[in-house]
Copies of this chain bind each other. A is one copy, B any other.
């Protein structure tokens, strides 16, 4: 029985992790948000909103990217006015990446858009099942085959 569940989950994961699926989701989410916001820069914005100002090195670990990659993406966001660089008071080598007001509003809009899409697809579910699914999914991600 559990083996069958495993196979079903494996297949669903395959679809979810497909290039085309991810690209479509990111495209619809970031549509109209400006050129700087896309599949590549969204994780930085999201991480900064979640954790507050961070250095590029810290952010790199969080996002799973090299420092140089963070620099490039952050520079794009800075040019677009979504992020600014501030000197780190506790370490003069470092520069903290901080969301601007525009950046904060953009992240909020992106999150709302995603939550709306998800809520729309859950609206036809029987009462309570969405909450159950959310709980299961969180648990699965937390101690699933990814850690």
Contacts and interface: CB of A to CB of B under 8 A. Distances in A.
Contacts of A122: 2, 5-6, 9, 140
Contacts of A15: 141, 146
Given A10-B111, A12-B140, 17 more contacts: A1-B131, A2-B130, A4-B131, A4-B134, A5-B131, A5-B134, A6-B130, A8-B138, A9-B118, A9-B137, A10-B118, A20-B63, A20-B64, A21-B64, A23-B64, A121-B140, A137-B137
B143 A121 contact: yes
Contact of A7 (B1, B20, B115, B129): B115
* Oligomer copy total: 2
B133 A133 contact: yes
A46 B11 CA distance: 10
Interface of A: 1-25, 43, 46, 63-65, 111, 114-123, 125, 129-141, 143-146
Contact of A25 (B7, B121, B145): B145
